[in-house]
Structure formats: structure tokens, C-alpha cells
Amino acid sequence: MTRLVALLWLAASLQTAQQPGLRCVYWDRPVAESVAIIREAGIDRLCVPPELAQSWRAAGIDAVEISAADLASRHTLPSPGIAHRADLVSATRSPWLVASGWQFLRAPQGRFKYELTSGGGALAAAEAFAHGGDAILPVDPSGIPELGVMLAFLRQVPAPAAQATLADLGVVDDGSEEMGEVLNLLSRRNLLFEIVKPRDRRFRVTVALGSTRYPREKAADPSALALAVRRELTDQARTIRVYGSEAVICRVTHYSSGVRVQLLNYGGREIQGLRVRLRGTYRAADALVSGLGRVALDDVVTGDGATELSIPRLTIYASVDLTVR
């Protein structure tokens, strides 16, 4: 079945993460039957199969050729959001978030593609953008309008010349599935990590499966292991904490004059009054919120070496830049 594919070429590296704009949408339908929907979505550049490139250029759309082999070779990511798992239904359980930011952090040079369910394109685009990922998003044509709006919004988010990931702990990644699930749980709990070499001693807390503190058998329960990491780190030492939702994952980077906090809402519903606490003393005035544009922050306060602020409304994605006082 023919599908729309949004292609995000976002440069990434182990040392710095930059967010150039979203650059390409892959579309494999002929011009005559689909040019109207592409233009209505505000998409002016396409990545297309080689045999369609010339016809799209003739229609006034910038077209970049991409091969079927490229699509097939990419690692598949699940559709982001909340997983409705019958075996985990409980009034007291935290929502099970399906998020792939940790995969971008694990393999910053990786090449990915999403396997999306209906309506997942906008969140997937924001997730890949926030983490500087190279990801292709196959989207059902019905999702084109929402995706087009998100792509247009993300192009308006300015990128500092260079950003570096902020991390509170190191993780020695052995490449195993067990470690992958640990990275997933750390990310979902907003425990900011950096992949490090075994002899790297920059962090007070370093997670290495098979070590005395984190024996491999502990990975059998990655949720409990993530809780143990949080307790060792302590909440006071965490860069960021979020209050008011368990469905928000943060990406925090720093640059020459401050930090950028990007927030991804996996819950599927707008959040009112999300409270964020960031270690450090900063100035902040507003946020860029998808679907809303520039939104003034509420109750920005500093004290005890931290800055707290509230985002009045959080849709799918928001970006907040804070400058050092």
C-alpha cells in the first residue's frame, strides 16, 4: 500500500546535537494524483523514488531522490504514544509510554524509520527533531494535514549554533536488549544519561550491567533498576523534574548562553499547567508550543539553585530556551 513518508535529516553526533530544519518528505505517488494534497500540507520539498524525481521537479516541487534500498536498510521504530496493554490495566499504574528518544541517543549516527499507526506522524516528527535523529516516517495520507502543520512549526524552532547533551549519569552500553530496555526506562523517567566508555569517570553515577552495583540480573526488572538509579543519583542532583504528568519526556541540551528544554507529550491529550523544575538559575519568558506558537510561561521562580516554571498548555511538543542569569 502506498504511504506518505516524512524524512527528517537531522545531524547528530556524540559530542554535539544540532537541529537543522526538517528537510524532506518522501512520497511515492505520481504527481497528477497527489500534487494537491502535498501543496495543501505546505510541503515544498520531497524525497521521491528516482523514477519520479523529474516529474515532481517539473511541478515546481524540490525533489531529492532516495532509493528503496535506503528505506529497507533502516532500523524500525514503533509508533510513539501510550500503549494500551490489557495485562497492565490498573488504576494506580503509570502509563506505558512508547518512545524512541533513547534509541537516537544510543545510536546518534543511526538511520531509522517509524512504523506508525494512525495519527502518530506529528509526535514521531517531534520526537526525531528533539533528539537530532535521522528518521523516516511512513504516514497514512489521512495524517498529511497534521504532519504538515507539525513540520511547518518545527521549521520555526531556531537552533543554536551548537548544543551538547546535558546528562546526570553515565551508561556503559553493552549493546544488549537488556540494556536497551534500561535506557528506555531511564529516558521515560527523565533521568538524563550519556553513553560512556567503561573507564569514563566523569559521572558520579555510572550504570554498567555486570558491575557490583548493577549486576546483570537486575536488568530483568528494568523499572526497578531505573528506580535504583534514581535513588543513587538523588532527586536533588537531577537536572530536570516534571510535575503534573507522567506522559512527558524531556530532552535537555546546553549551549553557550543557556539551556534548551524540549518537552514531548506522549499522552494524546493537551496538558494544562505542566510544572518543570530545572537545576540552575536561569531567565525564561516564553515557550514555543506546537499548534499554539509562542506562549508566555507562568510562575517563573528561582531559588535554592533551581528554576521552576509552568507551561500553561502543552500540546504535542514545546521548546523552552533559558539563559543563564
What's the pLDDT tens digit per position in 151-186? 899 999 988 767 788 999 999 999 999 999 999 999
How high is the pLDDT of residue 90? 44
**Whole-number pLDDT of residue 57:** 95
Residue 81 region by backbone torsions, left for phi larger than 0, else alpha for psi between -120 and 50, else beta: left
What one-character DSSP code corresponds to residue 101? H
DSSP 39: H
Spans of the chain below 50 pLDDT: 1-22, 86-92
Could you tell me which residues come within 8 angstroms of residue 227 by beta carbon, excluding any fewer than 6 positions away? none
State residue 181's pLDDT score.
96
